Amino acid sequence: MHLRRKLVAGNWKMNGSLAALAELGPVADAARAAGGVDVAICPPFTLIAPAVTRAGGAIAIGAQDCHAHESGAHTGCVAVGMLKEAGAKLVITGHSERRADQHETDAEVRAKAEAALRGGLLTIVCVGETDAERRAGSHVGRVTTMLAGSLPEDWEEGELVVAYEPVWAIGTGNVATPADVAEMHKAIRTHLVGRFGDRGNRIRILYGGSVKADNAAELFAVADVDGALVGGASLTAAAFVPIVEAAAG
């Protein structure tokens, strides 16, 4: 049995301000108290550097996206080297909102993940099905296809994380049942082991989709749930700290 350290990562999306960074103090305290849990916050690009200062080393600060190229004529994009210079330790790639709104393909997500790994950032690759795909019974096939196209081949232990985020449960208040989560995380683990051998057992799989204080413990108890990618509940310490505490058990 592989012991994978829990990871609870908050995705602030297009929310936050300098004043909002005050929320990081209590989160940092909770992270220190949790001990065996990795805690991360991914604020907007503009807040990464000041967030690093406020986090005091107790929380890893990351980005919500990166570009696949090191530099160039890519207006409005941010390279991995720029993120590292700002103090980022990780990056989210392939979030469903970017796949939908910016029409990112699996190949583009993979290229970004490869760039992030080359640059030394912990990389969270997101996959997940829509409500229509789940209703059609194609959810497992859809997610494994996304994994096949989005995950890099080359990575070192601890660098690569998969986040399963059912699109129909993001920001909707709907949460996959423990049985739903167990089915998908098992399918993801099966894919990872089939592709990478025993190394696939060392990749953490996070659940993301309306994770809150009142359902976190139940979700963390599901096999192969190695933490959470948290959206709205990560914006305040009052909502986020109980999730960190649930991960610590």
| Torsion sign (Cα): 56, 60, 63, 66 | positive
What are the phi and psi torsion angles at 210 (to 5°)?
A: 60, 45
> Which of these is catalytic: 95, 139, 185, 191?
95
> Which of these is catalytic: 67, 165, 185, 191?
165
Pairing of strands 6-11, 227-230: parallel
Residue 3 CB partners (closer than 8 Å, separation 6+): none
| Catalytic residue list contains 70 | no
Q: Give dist(CA 169, CA 176) in Å, integer.
A: 7
| Catalytic residue list contains 165 | yes
Mind telling me the catalytic residues? 95, 165
